[in-house]
Amino acid sequence: MKKRILTLGILSILLITSCKKETAKSEPKAETEEITTAVPDEQPSVAEQAAETQDSVVTETSTETPIKVADAKKEVVKAVEDVKNQAVNKAVQQSETVTKKVENTTTKETEKATKVVESVTEKTSTVKETAQKEIDNVTKEAEAVKKEISTPAAKAPKQLTQAEKITRGKTLFTTGICKNCHNQTKKLIGPTLVIIGSTYKKKKGRIANFLQGNAKPIVDPKRFKMMKPNIDDVTRHMPIQDLEALEAYIMSFAK
Ligand code: HEC
């Protein structure tokens, strides 16, 4: 500032001095008017000079101020830009966070839904499998029943004729243990088949029932002890057809 004031002071002195010189030249008085008009004409040029000088002085002596202003301006612009940028960045970040949240929520919901669908699918398939197994079992059972119905003859015991029964009975009697104690006509440990057959014919008993253990002895009850083990260990475990065959064979000797 001091420099400025100094410069302005110098300039004013210069101006005044130049004015005085002109005034001195224009004397005598006759030329006063001319001079008066001339002076103002020259004055702008002096003013211009002064202005130029001032400009140059200003640029030379105080270049700091314009630069500072420019810098300040730049800083302000920068600050404004920074604020703008910050605001934009914040907005972008917020929108990103929201987008992420939305994405997360959507993903979670989708995962949940997928899990539910999967578990339902699993359950459905399990139910299907169980149902299929049950269907298979029922089908198998139905097929088995069908077979049984369609082939009753195959399962049913073959009905033997009386002659066949006697033949079968003879084979069982002679190849088994019975012959150790029983003979057709000769008394051994047990009574003869003639006696047994005749007794049963007379009393209308059933030998098959006795051999099954379901009927009491009627031939020689006092000696039943000897016969009993054969019923318990052998004859009661034989199929009814074989017992009936033995019965037919023994009865064939009845008189
Ligand atoms: C260890 C000798 C012995 C053997 C083996 C034996 N019995 Fe006897 N059985 C006897 C005697 C003893 C009696 C007489 C007792 C009786 O009447 O219960 C008898 C009685 C019987 C009677 C008449 C039962 C009645 O009503 O009194 C029949 C039927 C008979 N035996 C069938 C058989 C047949 C079938 C076999 C072969 C599977 C057989 N026995 C094997 C000893 C034997």
From first to last of its 255 residues, the chain has per-residue pLDDT tens of 444 444 444 444 444 444 454 444 444 444 444 444 444 454 455 445 544 544 444 444 455 577 788 888 888 889 889 989 998 899 889 989 888 888 888 888 889 988 998 998 899 888 999 999 998 998 898 888 777 767 655 555 678 899 999 999 999 999 999 999 999 999 999 999 999 999 999 999 999 999 999 999 999 999 999 999 999 999 999 999 999 999 999 999 999
Residue 166 CB–ligand 1 contact under 6 Å? no
Token pair belonging to 15:
């101006």
SS3 (DSSP) at 190: coil
176 lines ligand 1 (CB under 6 A): yes
Q: Which CATH architecture has domain 162-251?
A: Orthogonal Bundle (1.10)
| pLDDT digits 0-9 by tens, 27-43 | 444 444 444 444 445 44
pLDDT, tens digit, 9 for 90 and up, residues 54-91: 444 444 445 557 778 888 888 888 988 998 999 889 98
Mutate which of 168, 174, 180, 182 for ligand 1 pocket (most atoms within 8 A of beta carbon): 182
**Contact 198/255 with Cβ under 8 angstroms?**
yes
Q: 186-218: string of b/e by CB count within 10 Å (b at 16+)?
A: eeeebbbbbbbbbbbeeeebebbebbbeeeeee
Strands (E), the chain: none
Helix (H, G, I), strand (E, B) or coil at 214: coil
CA 159 to ligand 1 centroid distance, Å: 26
Cβ of 191 closer than 6 Å to ligand 1, yes or no, is: yes
Atom of ligand 1 nearest to the CA of 230: 41
Name the residue with the closest Cα to ligand 1, atom 31: 227
Give me ligand 1 centre to Cα 244, in Å: 15
By alpha-carbon position, which residue is closest to atom 18 of ligand 1? 224
**How many angstroms separate the CA atoms of 141 and 72, rounded?**
101
Closest residue by Cα to residue 220 from 182, 170, 185, 255: 182
Q: 227: CA distance to ligand 1 center in Å?
A: 5
Rounded-to-integer distance, Cα 138 and Cα 255, Å: 57
- In sequence order, the 6+-apart residues with CB closer than 8 A to the CB of 240 are 208, 212
- Which residue's CA lies nearest to atom 7 of ligand 1? 227
Q: Is 177 in the pocket of ligand 1 (CB under 6 A)?
A: yes
Ligand 1 closest atom vs CA 219: 27
> Ligand 1: which atom is nearest the Cα of residue 180?
5
* Cβ(177)–Cβ(231) below 8 Å: no
Q: Judge residue 235's burial from the number of C-beta atoms within 10 Å of its C-beta, 0-12 exposed, 13-18 middle, 19 or more buried.
A: buried
The residue contributing the CA closest to ligand 1 atom 29 is: 207
What pLDDT does residue 151 have?
A: 65
